[in-house]
């Protein structure tokens, strides 16, 4: 699994600041979109992995995790 690196976040933030301050050229806009797409892919992958390991219990302590999640 890939991980969101500090370098990726720094580059995303730098492009966002530049976009607000002076605008981006076509190459920078393309790079910004690539970074955003990769960031979201990694984030969603990690979030799905977290949800796959969640166990749902009711007030009595009975496991009520949906069958789809147990597989």
From first to last of its 71 residues, the chain has per-residue pLDDT tens of 588 999 999 999 999 999 999 999 999 999 999 999 999 999 999 999 998 888 899 999 999 888 766 65
The CATH homologous superfamily of the domain defined by 6-70? Helix hairpin bin (1.10.287.540)
- The confidence score (pLDDT) of residue 1 equals 59
- The confidence score (pLDDT) of residue 34 equals 98
pTM of the model: 0.76
Rounded to the nearest 10 degrees, how much is the dihedral formed by the CA atoms of 20, 24, 5, 1? Answer: 120
Q: What is the DSSP letter of 22?
A: T
Tokens matching residue 20: 């607000």
- The confidence score (pLDDT) of residue 71 equals 57
List b or e across 11-47, with b for residues whose CB sees 16 or more CB atoms inside 10 angstroms: ebeebeeeeeeeebeeeeeeebeebeeeeeebeeeee
CB distance 32 to 14 below 8 Å: no
């Amino acid at each position: 699994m890939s991980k969101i690196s500090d370098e990726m976040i720094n580059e995303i933030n730098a492009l966002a600041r530049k976009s607000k301050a002076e605008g981006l050229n076509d190459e920078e806009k393309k790079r910004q979109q690539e970074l955003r797409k990769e960031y979201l892919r990694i984030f969603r992958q990690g979030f799905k992995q977290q949800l796959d390991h969640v166990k749902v219990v009711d007030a009595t302590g009975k496991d009520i995790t949906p069958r789809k999640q147990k597989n």
